[in-house]
Structure 1
Amino acid sequence: MPPRIPMPGQRPKRVEPPRRPTIPVPLERQIDFCRVFVDGKRQPGNVRMAHALEVVERYENAFVWLSLKEPTNEQMEKIAEIFDVEDLVVDDVVDAHQRPKIERNDEQLFMVVRSVSYRDDEEVADAREIISTGEVQMIVGERFAITIRHNAHLPDLTAKLEEEEDLAVLGPTAVAWAVSDYLVDNYLKVTDFLEDDVDELENEVFTPRHTINIDKIYSYKREVLEMRHAIDPLAPALRNGLTNNKDLLRKALRSYFRDVQDNATIVSDRLSGFDERLTSLLDASVAKVTMQQNADMRTISAVVGMAAVPTLIAGIYGMNFEEMPELKWSFGYPLALVVMLAAMALMFWWFRKNHWL
């Protein structure tokens, strides 16, 4: 059948390509682990997520820790049915573009902390890959803690909870502390690497006769700005969360969270300092390049000035006038060369004395 020709003024219908059927991914593939803690100690092995809460109900002081990686909307809806998570939280989890925050939904806390990873500029082709950010979300209930990571590396922190037995017995909020403490400690490590890089940039800028790479300075400034956007909201979020949710956070845990808040504030202050230093380096680099260009132009002007005197003398004696007595003098040519060289030598001495050459 020949294709239908649209009438004048009629827009042709857009033919969409057939959609490929999507294969549902089993929820088990997105689960890192599902473990039960009883009296602050991890029980051996993993438990099935669907029966995790049933296992926890057998004990007086127990909770389940479920760790996920980038669940889909359908997968998160299944989890929400089991753990009674609100739909708004499900949307935020799947969207995965949240600022650091702590929100309360009845007796549950929804917490978002951004992750930051660092790679040396010699290991990446694009300077925009030096700092990369991800997102870790936590849903904390009375008997469970769910951690969801998006583009973030999160090691198994169950050993850390076992080492802090006094905290693990306080319930699922200890999981939120362990994850937050790990991520913020990693911030401190990244700022140490950035400090070394900024110090190296300062040495390059203020080393005499060293080529200045302004693009590199700007790239680091952009990376620091990206890290600030990921980190700066965390300290106020922790402060407000600790103040408004004291009934869900034990006193011992609040002190540990305040330590995390203090470290987040330290990181924010250090990043602010890096940003100011990089801004100063940009200004100093532009000023240094401008001064170098002025020095180059002064050198070029001096060379042109030295060449102007011989050119002037040669131009005068190049005029074809008959009444020029010096043209018939046998020593006229050598004397003109001597005058040219003497003038150039005198100008060279004067320019060197005034640091033009």
Structure 2
Amino acid sequence: MIKAYGATDGRLQLREAGLAPTESVIWIDLLSPSDDEEAAVELALGVDLPSRKEMREIEQSSRLYTADGAQFMTAMIPAHSDSDAPEMEPVTFVLVGARLVTIRYHDPKAFGLFVHRASKGHMPCATGEEVMLGLLEVMVDRLGDVLEHAGQSIESLSRRIFARDSGRNRRGPRWQIMLEDIGRKGGLISTIRDSLGTLDRLAVFFGQRLRNENHASHLPEDQLDRLHDLSSDIRSLADHAGFVAQKVNFLLDATLGMISIEQNTVMQIFSVVSVVFLPPTLVASVYGMNFASMPELSWPWGYPAALGLILTSALVPYLFFRRKGWL
């Protein structure tokens, strides 16, 4: 699908460009484009757009390069990041003169947010470079919101893990649920860190290319400042994401430690119970022997005495363990 946008009175507006973009178009957004749509844009702009397979290349030289007078920049952007299972796919930005072409095969929320804000006149969008800068700012803001929400969820998990509740509530499937939650949050944080890393390299490449190729006239000082602030925000978010990732690892270790402590407690109870029942078992075994010359066999009170001895031999170890705090 092709969406073409132009700018009127500082507002972004959708154009009816069809397969061949007109001169008034400054941004062409290709969402899961067909072969015909991709070929039409390539013919109109005179550039060779990367395929989906090429967009997924992990080498930096395959993600950030200049060809045919155009700049090609690819970053990994998550979609459905409100959930714990975001969809991570590449988004390619192609700057051809004053036009921007974006190629994507998923629908990150940042695109819709940017279109909504730019159509209200809240963001500069006179050129493709301004559109790209605005898109990057919204993407970074969106990642920051997701990271903040993930951090709050991890804090809630931390309180649940270290809560002083009853032993009965701490057992069973509760730990399994927490491990699953920690694993999902860890995967989400890892996704955000990967995305921030690619955006950081993209922002540096974007700024260097604009300056090295004498395109500074397209970016006034205020927008150069925005680009600098964008890079600073990306790095600060990356540092915060690293901190949150460390906390996730800590909670994972703590949860495994809690499980180990609980298992040790259960084994301790079994060990104590075994020791408590060992003396009564010994007494019962002695009086269970069938020897004719056992004097206790002829005692009228032999049976009650044996029961009392069994009870006493069980009670004494129990009281001893209670006094030591082992039960």
Identify if the C-alpha distance between structure 1 residues 163 and 348 changes in structure 2 by more than 3 Å, giving closer, same or farther: same
Deviations, residues 248-298 of structure 1 (Å, cap 9, x unaligned) = 342332221222222222222222122211111121122221111111111
Could you tell me how far 1:315 is from its partner in structure 2?
0.5
Distance, in Å, in 2 between the alignment partners of 1:159 and 1:139 is: 22
Distance, in Å, in 1 between the alignment partners of 2:292 and 2:12 is: 113
TM-score using structure 2 length: 0.83
Distance, in Å, in 1 between the alignment partners of 2:12 and 2:64 is: 26
Other-structure match for 1:134: 89
Contact 1:217–1:282, Cα closer than 8 Å, also in 2: yes
1:212 aligns with 2:168: no
Contact 1:52–1:64, Cα closer than 8 Å, also in 2: no
1:280 aligns with 2:268: no
The higher radius of gyration belongs to: 1
| CA RMSD in angstroms, aligned pairs only | 2.6
Other-structure match for 2:43: 81
The alignment partner of 1:116 has SS state of: strand
Other-structure match for 1:163: 121
Identify if the C-alpha distance between structure 1 residues 235 and 203 changes in structure 2 by more than 3 Å, giving closer, same or farther: same
Could you tell me how far 1:164 is from its partner in structure 2?
5.0
Could you tell me how far 1:203 is from its partner in structure 2?
1.7
Contact 1:70–1:150, Cα closer than 8 Å, also in 2: yes
What amino acid is aligned across from residue 139 of structure 1 in structure 2?
Answer: V
Other-structure match for 2:281: 311
Contact 2:10–2:121, Cα closer than 8 Å, also in 1: no
Other-structure match for 1:267: 237
Identify if the C-alpha distance between structure 1 residues 163 and 98 changes in structure 2 by more than 3 Å, giving closer, same or farther: farther
Identify if the C-alpha distance between structure 1 residues 323 and 219 changes in structure 2 by more than 3 Å, giving closer, same or farther: same
Deviation beyond 6 Å, 4+ runs, structure 1: none
- The range that moved more, 257-266 or 314-323, is 257-266
Distance, in Å, in 1 between the alignment partners of 2:40 and 2:154 is: 47
Deviations, residues 216-254 of structure 1 (Å, cap 9, x unaligned) = 322322332233223323213312431343123423322
What amino acid is aligned across from residue 206 of structure 1 in structure 2?
Answer: F
1:235 aligns with 2:200: yes
Distance, in Å, in 2 between the alignment partners of 1:44 and 1:118 is: 24
What amino acid is aligned across from residue 38 of structure 2 in structure 1?
Answer: M
Identify if the C-alpha distance between structure 1 residues 245 and 82 changes in structure 2 by more than 3 Å, giving closer, same or farther: same
1:181 aligns with 2:137: yes
Aligned counterpart for 2:186 among listed residues 207, 221, 232: 221
Could you tell me how far 1:299 is from its partner in structure 2?
0.7
Contact 1:138–1:146, Cα closer than 8 Å, also in 2: yes
Identify if the C-alpha distance between structure 1 residues 157 and 277 changes in structure 2 by more than 3 Å, giving closer, same or farther: closer
- The range that moved more, 177-186 or 223-232, is 223-232
Contact 1:306–1:348, Cα closer than 8 Å, also in 2: yes
TM-score using structure 1 length: 0.77
Deviations, residues 195-220 of structure 1 (Å, cap 9, x unaligned) = 12211221222124323232332232
Other-structure match for 2:2: 31
Superposed counterparts of 1:1-357, under 5 Å:
30-32=1-3, 34-37=4-7, 40-42=10-12, 45-50=15-20, 52-53=22-23, 56=24, 64-85=26-47, 87=48, 90-92=49-51, 95-98=54-57, 101-105=63-67, 107-118=69-80, 130-153=85-108, 154-155=111-112, 157-158=114-115, 160-161=117-118, 163=121, 167-169=124-126, 171-208=127-164, 209=167, 210=170, 211-213=174-176, 214-246=179-211, 247-249=214-216, 250=219, 251-357=221-327
Distance, in Å, in 1 between the alignment partners of 2:250 and 2:265 is: 22
- The range that moved more, 342-351 or 212-221, is 212-221
Contact 2:182–2:251, Cα closer than 8 Å, also in 1: yes
Q: Which runs of no fewer than 5 residues in structure 2 stay unpaired?
A: none
Distance, in Å, in 1 between the alignment partners of 2:294 and 2:12 is: 110
Distance, in Å, in 1 between the alignment partners of 2:55 and 2:20 is: 24
Q: Identity percentage over the alignment? A: 20
